[in-house]
Amino acid sequence: ELKKQILYALLQTTDISAITESIMEKVKQFSLDPINSFIDLLLEIELKEIRLRTFSEKKEYKEVCLEIIEELKKYLVTHTDEISKRTIYHHVGKLHSKIKEYDQAEEYFNKVLGYDRNAKYAKLQLARIYLAKNKFDKASEIIDSVLSLGIDLDSDSLAIILSFYELLGHPKLISCK
């Protein structure tokens, strides 16, 4: 179990484009049981996201995203705790967003916020969606609300905070600067 947690941490801290075959082989050495184990679910999600990088055709990419969405939704039957649901909803939302199904993505990120109204990772995704939908006022509102809380380096993901600051570079978000 500890080896799986370390491997998951490694996957989380590695740029997905830099993930090597050796890391993938280490993941494949484990017999994953994503139905009954949260860490296995996390590893399974990472494997699915890495798999998406192998598809270059838009149609094929979208089909695979939709397949993964359906697979992840099935895990909601066995993973009924709040953390698992938030994780699954977040990744389903990200997949919908990747294929530009922004309304569906927004729905899933709002489900995450239903469990944790301060989930900055979900708010980041919503801000990105609002930018994509040209809803600049809504994006600006989210960014302002998150950045006004300040940064707590003990609990906030630095990558997420930096991503919010990156969004400030959008030309339509001058009011946030």
Q: What percent of the chain stands above pLDDT 90?
A: 47
Question: Does 69 have pLDDT greater than 90?
Answer: yes
Q: At what angle do helices 58-75 and 38-52 cross, to 10 degrees?
A: 170
Q: Indicate the pLDDT class of residue 68, thresholds 50, 70 and 90.
A: very high
> Would you say 82 and 112 are in contact if contact means Cβ atoms under 8 Å apart?
no
Q: Average pLDDT for residues 142-155, to the nearest whole number?
A: 84
Question: Does 161 have pLDDT greater than 60?
Answer: yes
Q: Indicate the pLDDT class of residue 174, thresholds 50, 70 and 90.
A: low
Residue 109: per-residue pLDDT:
98
Question: Does 153 have pLDDT greater than 80?
Answer: no
CA distances to 54, 62, 69, 86 from 130, in Å: 28, 21, 21, 20
pLDDT tens, 45-58?
988 887 787 777 77
Question: Does 21 have pLDDT greater than 90?
Answer: no
Question: Does 72 have pLDDT greater than 70?
Answer: yes
Q: Indicate the pLDDT class of residue 15, thresholds 50, 70 and 90.
A: low
pLDDT tens, 102-145?
999 999 999 999 999 989 999 999 999 999 999 999 999 999 88
pTM for the model stands at: 0.84
